[in-house]
Amino acid sequence: MIGIGIVGAAGRMGRAIAAELSGRDDARVTATAERGGDLDALARGANVLIDFSSPDALPAVLDAARGAAVPVVIGTTGLSAAEHEAIDAAAREIAVLQAANMSLGVNLLAALVREAAARLGPGWDIEIAEMHHRHKVDAPSGTALLLGEAAAAGRGITLAGHSERGRDGIGETRAEGAIGFASLRGGSVAGDHLVVLAGEGERIELGHRAESRAIFARGAVQAALWLHGKAPGRYSMNDVLGL
Ligand code: NAD
């Protein structure tokens, strides 16, 4: 029985992970933490940490995991380049799995997008649209960026150099080879993503709809079980899912 410590336990995902764990016999919640909680104590009492909170929690979460030498699954999105570097640094000492989306479907979709972008070439325009619930704080979603990275990798370009976000006004025609993003917010949507590859006279649409947060919670628990006992390093859901 693997003991899981949840960071961000009172949030939408924290509650979904606790619900997932309550129905399993291979892992259980040992402790939970919220903003202001004792992360060192949480880490000492757990075999693996799962963090779905906010980017500002990341330094303390990584320090606590290192201090207790426990692996950590990071599902929080909206991470900066400096925060990704902090994950890389921690991964030299402990096993860290960071994924902007924990679902099998989205990670498979990313592989399909990469393949499509590689085969179709730069004459096809790529646009990524996403919709999430009204409370989401980061835009574009971490999953939209994950899909954008997959498209860029397929094309052999960097997303940072080709991303187009937030078009508004006159003179906003897309640059050749750009990967565009559009974000919709409203209601209780768990997460919809659509990747459009638009050529002259035809278009391909590859999409995913999350019907509930349970898919992310299940993936996060699967990732935690997989990560337990792994050597230090940075891992992704592709490693867990064998994609
Ligand atoms: P939420 O706002 O409902 O919950 C976040 C919780 O974290 C809150 O209870 C908040 O009090 C707590 N928190 C914030 N800062 C903290 C800190 N410093 N220390 C401890 N706790 C802290 O948000 P949510 O919808 O549950 O999403 C949480 C994160 O997970 C977001 O970044 C979201 O984009 C991401 N997310 C990732 C996936 C995935 O599959 N990787 C799926 C869904 C959501």
pLDDT in tens, 63-73: 999 999 999 99
Mean pLDDT of 168-192: 96
In which residue are the tokens 């370009």 written? 157
In which residue are the tokens 């799962």 written? 50
Cα(118) to centroid of ligand 1, in Å? 34
Contact 192, 210 (CB under 8 A): yes
Could you say which of 3.40.50.1820, 3.20.20.100, 3.40.50.720, 3.30.1650.10 is the CATH number of the domain covering 2-102+213-241?
A: 3.40.50.720
Q: What percent of the chain has pLDDT over 90?
A: 98
What atom of ligand 1 comes closest to residue 77's alpha carbon? Answer: 32
Active site residue 132: yes
Determine the straight-line distance between the first and last CA of the chain, rounded to whole angstroms: 26
Is the pLDDT at 121 greater than 90, yes or no? no
Residues with CB under 6 A from ligand 1: 7-8, 10-14, 33-35, 37, 52-54, 56-57, 75-78, 99-102, 138, 142, 216
Q: What is the pLDDT of residues 137-174, one digit of tens each?
A: 999 999 999 999 999 999 999 999 999 998 999 999 99
Task: Return the number of other C-beta atoms located less than 10 Å from residue 156's C-beta.
Answer: 9
Cα(53) to centroid of ligand 1, in Å? 3
Q: Is the pTM of this model over 0.75?
A: yes
- DSSP three-state, residue 205: strand
Contact 178, 128 (CB under 8 A): no
134 — pLDDT class (breaks 50, 70, 90): very high
Q: Residue 143 has what pLDDT? A: 98
122 — pLDDT class (breaks 50, 70, 90): confident
Across the chain, mean pLDDT equals: 97
Q: For 167-176, which contacts have Cβ atoms below 8 Å and span 24 or more sequence positions? A: 174/125, 176/122
Q: Residue 243 has what pLDDT? A: 87
Contact 62, 37 (CB under 8 A): no
Is the pLDDT at 106 greater than 90, yes or no? yes
Mean pLDDT of 34-49: 97
- What are the residue boundaries of the structural domains of the chain, listed by start? 2-102+213-241, 104-209
Q: Does domain 104-209 have CATH number 2.40.50.100?
A: no
Active-site pick, 84, 132, 133, 135? 132
Helix axes 142-155, 104-120, angle to 10 degrees: 30
Nearest CA to ligand 1 atom 25: 12
